[in-house]
């Protein structure tokens, strides 16, 4: 069974201006998939639809065979673009919160990753730097034993060293049977970790979808170079 | 999962509420003493008189601030939890959308009710401290017993019905006021791209006016159409008529509250648009 099935999805924020139109995607387990496209092409909208934050106007989304809802929320680990913390909370309170709501949350893994970064669980979120807030959020997301990880622009706005840390945390901590969807326009940074990729363009159309290694060998170019060709202005 | 959500909502609301609640109790106790000082026939030093007046004024302001503070806390919690970046966490928790709304509603009603109880206690405490000599005379319990007996003789079993109806009306009215506030925040947050709070306040005035207008129309219509039916049903029994009117008010509020709840749920479930 595929981890994710997106069938004929349509979503418009304004009437007659669809962000996504008749979109179909299937993702099997154990894959890291890059959802790559320019800004405003509907990547985040798709992620929000899969996570259940938004509702599609048409079509159906299934996660491990279940329609998006309470059950799929328990299987999906979602990293939004911006930190969603209450700044007055302590890191330890967040760990407790995640452990309470998500049965698959591994507190020991989260504590180890925080310790590696030198972030104390007694730190208040408001006392952390922007970079560390993002790292704490990533740790909380990756410490779950989820079936599907949705990472929306995980490396946008962070320095190259932090990007390496983020990517290594993603690769080193996800459930091997699960799938990861990473949305980004910073392709050169993520392509090394991708199994498959999809180029998505305005209106939510998939212009190219394949195995990353195969396409690189076939065309003799990096995904970044192919992306630049495909989306040339 | 509702229990877990309630735990976090109660914890967040209680965090600062209890400090203000304790402060108002302290101020009320102090004010009770001040009333005793002011109302004494002794000649008072000017400083003492002025201080007592200031404390009494502060207590009055404190009680008003306490009521406003509770409502503002509820408003902030709902808005921040659902419609700011925190919404990305709230709406991806493995819980039903209805549980999110129920948790916010139950905790808010509980805190409004608790605020009302504490305010009532504050006033009672102030009066008891100020006038304990007049209240607790040797005949106090005899007078109290006599008073209760008089009420019982006049109303009979209706006293229990009235009490129940009064408590239910307070709780449902509180829930209705909160739902009205919630739906305005929801609409304001969904339609406004910027200045969502200001949009919510504007919508609140609009929706409040609309609800008041519809309520007034229905009240006039109900008075005209139901008066004769009530009279026939109660056969002139004024106690029964009062109880029936209270029941109608309760049912009307439940109906309006139900409509507001369904609209709010629909908006949160289908029209949510976190930026």
B274 chain-A contacts, CB cut-off 8 A? 48, 53
The helix or strand, by DSSP H or E, that contains position A52, with its residue range, turns out to be none
Q: Which residue range forms the structural domain that includes residue B64?
A: 1-136
For residues A24-40, give the mean pLDDT.
Answer: 89
**Contact across the interface for B1 and A83, Cβ inside 8 Å:** no
Token representation of residue A24: 């179909």
- pLDDT tens digits, B33-87: 888 888 776 777 777 778 888 888 898 999 999 989 999 999 999 999 999 889 9
Spatial CA neighbour of B214 closest among B174, B176, B264: B176
Asked whether B126 and B119 are in contact (CB, 8 A), the reply is no
Choose among A55, A71, A76: nearest Cβ to B270. A55
Q: How many domains does chain B have?
A: 2
Give yes or no for A97 touching B (CB within 8 A).
Answer: yes
Choose among A53, A71, A86: nearest Cβ to B91. A53
Asked whether B6 and B101 are in contact (CB, 8 A), the reply is no
Asked whether A179 and A30 are in contact (CB, 8 A), the reply is yes
Grade residue B93 by pLDDT with cuts at 50, 70 and 90. very high
**Contact across the interface for A73 and B87, Cβ inside 8 Å:** no
For residues A119-126, give the mean pLDDT.
Answer: 89
CA distance A66 to A116: 36
**Contact across the interface for B272 and A51, Cβ inside 8 Å:** no
Distance from CA of A67 to the nearest CA of B (A): 13
For residues B92-101, give the mean pLDDT.
Answer: 94
Give yes or no for A48 touching B (CB within 8 A).
Answer: yes
CA distance B18 to A232: 60
Distance from CA of A116 to the nearest CA of B (A): 25
CA distance B119 to B48: 26
A200: number of Cβ within 10 Å: 24
A215: number of Cβ within 10 Å: 18
Asked whether A225 and A60 are in contact (CB, 8 A), the reply is no
Place of tokens 């609800």: B211
CA distance A138 to A158: 13
- CA-CA-CA-CA dihedral for B117, B32, B26, B57, to nearest 10: 90
Residues B21 and B2 placed together within one structural domain of the fold: yes
Residues B24 and B6 placed together within one structural domain of the fold: yes
What number of C-beta contacts closer than 8 Å exist between A and B?
Answer: 50
CA distance B134 to A60: 73
Of B116, B136, B156, which residue sits at a domain end? B136
CA distance A209 to A27: 11
User: A10-14, B165-169, B238-242 — which is least confidently predicted?
Assistant: B238-242
Query: Domain segments of chain A: what residues?
Result: 4-83+147-230
Is the per-residue pLDDT at B231 higher than 80?
no
Choose among A73, A86, A100: nearest Cβ to B4. A100
- Mean pLDDT, all residues of chain B: 87
What is the pLDDT at residue B41? 67
- pLDDT tens digits, B153-198: 887 888 888 889 999 999 999 999 999 999 999 988 888 777 878 8
**Contact across the interface for B93 and A73, Cβ inside 8 Å:** yes
A70 chain-B contacts, CB cut-off 8 A? 94-96
Is the per-residue pLDDT at B3 higher than 70?
yes
Choose among B85, B95, B270: nearest Cβ to A83. B85
- pLDDT tens digits, B16-42: 899 999 999 999 999 988 888 887 767
Residues B217 and B273 placed together within one structural domain of the fold: yes
CA distance B242 to B258: 24
Percentage with pLDDT > 90 across chain A: 34
Choose among A52, A85, A100: nearest Cβ to B92. A52
Residues B86 and B129 placed together within one structural domain of the fold: yes
Strands (E), chain A: 4-14, 17-27, 32-36, 58-63, 66-67, 76-79, 148-152, 179-184, 196-201, 205-211
Of B88, B103, B136, which residue sits at a domain end? B136
CA distance B206 to B256: 16
Percentage with pLDDT > 70 across chain B: 97
Token representation of residue B31: 């004010």
In CATH, what is the architecture of A4-83+147-230? 3-Layer(aba) Sandwich (3.40)
Residues B131 and B194 placed together within one structural domain of the fold: no
Is the per-residue pLDDT at A156 higher than 80?
no
Of B92, B112, B136, which residue sits at a domain end? B136
A226: number of Cβ within 10 Å: 21
B11 chain-A contacts, CB cut-off 8 A? none
């Amino acid at each position: 069974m595929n981890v994710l099935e997106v069938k004929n999805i349509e979503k418009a924020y304004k009437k007659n201006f669809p962000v996504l139109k008749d979109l179909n995607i299937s993702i099997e387990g154990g894959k890291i998939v890059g959802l790559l496209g320019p800004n405003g092409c509907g990547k985040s909208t798709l992620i929000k639809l899969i996570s259940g934050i938004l509702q599609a106007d048409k079509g159906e989304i299934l996660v491990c065979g279940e329609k998006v809802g309470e059950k799929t929320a328990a299987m999906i680990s979602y990293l939004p673009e911006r930190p969603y913390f209450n700044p007055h909370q302590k890191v330890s309170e967040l760990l407790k919160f995640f452990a309470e709501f998500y049965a698959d949350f591994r507190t020991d893994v989260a504590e180890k990753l925080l310790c590696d970064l030198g972030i104390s669980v007694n730190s208040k979120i408001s006392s952390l730097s922007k970079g560390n807030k993002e790292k704490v959020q990533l740790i909380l997301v990756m410490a779950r034993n989820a079936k599907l990880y949705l990472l929306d622009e995980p490396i946008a706005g962070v320095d190259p060293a932090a990007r390496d840390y983020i990517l290594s945390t993603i690769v080193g901590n996800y459930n091997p049977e699960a799938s990861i969807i990473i949305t980004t326009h910073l392709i050169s940074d993520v392509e090394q970790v991708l199994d498959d990729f999809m180029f998505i363009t305005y209106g939510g159309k998939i212009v190219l979808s394949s195995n990353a290694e195969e396409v690189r060998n076939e065309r003799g170019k990096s995904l970044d170079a192919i992306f630049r060709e495909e989306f040339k202005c | 999962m509702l229990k877990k959500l309630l735990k976090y909502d109660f914890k967040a609301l209680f965090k600062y509420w209890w400090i203000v609640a304790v402060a108002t109790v302290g101020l009320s106790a102090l004010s009770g003493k001040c009333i005793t000082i002011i109302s004494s026939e002794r000649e008072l030093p000017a400083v003492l008189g002025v201080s007592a007046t200031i404390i009494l004024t502060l207590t009055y302001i404190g009680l008003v601030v306490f009521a406003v503070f509770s409502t503002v806390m509820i408003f902030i919690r709902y808005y921040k939890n659902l419609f700011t970046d925190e919404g990305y966490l709230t709406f991806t928790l493995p819980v039903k959308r209805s549980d999110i709304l129920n948790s916010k509603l139950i905790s808010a009603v509980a805190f409004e009710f608790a605020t009302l109880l504490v305010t009532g206690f504050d006033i009672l405490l102030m009066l008891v401290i100020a006038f304990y000599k007049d209240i607790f005379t040797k005949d106090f319990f005899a007078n109290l017993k006599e008073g209760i007996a008089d009420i019982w003789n006049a109303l009979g079993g209706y006293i229990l019905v009235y009490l129940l109806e009064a408590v239910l009306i307070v709780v449902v009215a509180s829930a209705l006021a909160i739902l009205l506030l919630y739906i305005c925040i929801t609409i304001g947050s969904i339609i406004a791209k910027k200045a969502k709070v200001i949009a919510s306040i504007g919508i609140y005035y609009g929706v409040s006016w609309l609800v008041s207008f519809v309520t007034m129309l229905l009240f006039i219509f109900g008075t005209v159409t139901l008066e004769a039916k009530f009279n026939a049903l109660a056969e002139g029994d004024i106690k029964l008529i009062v109880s029936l009117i209270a029941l109608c008010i309760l049912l009307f509020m439940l109906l309006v509250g139900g409509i507001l709840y369904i609209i709010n749920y629909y908006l949160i479930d289908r029209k949510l648009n976190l930026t």
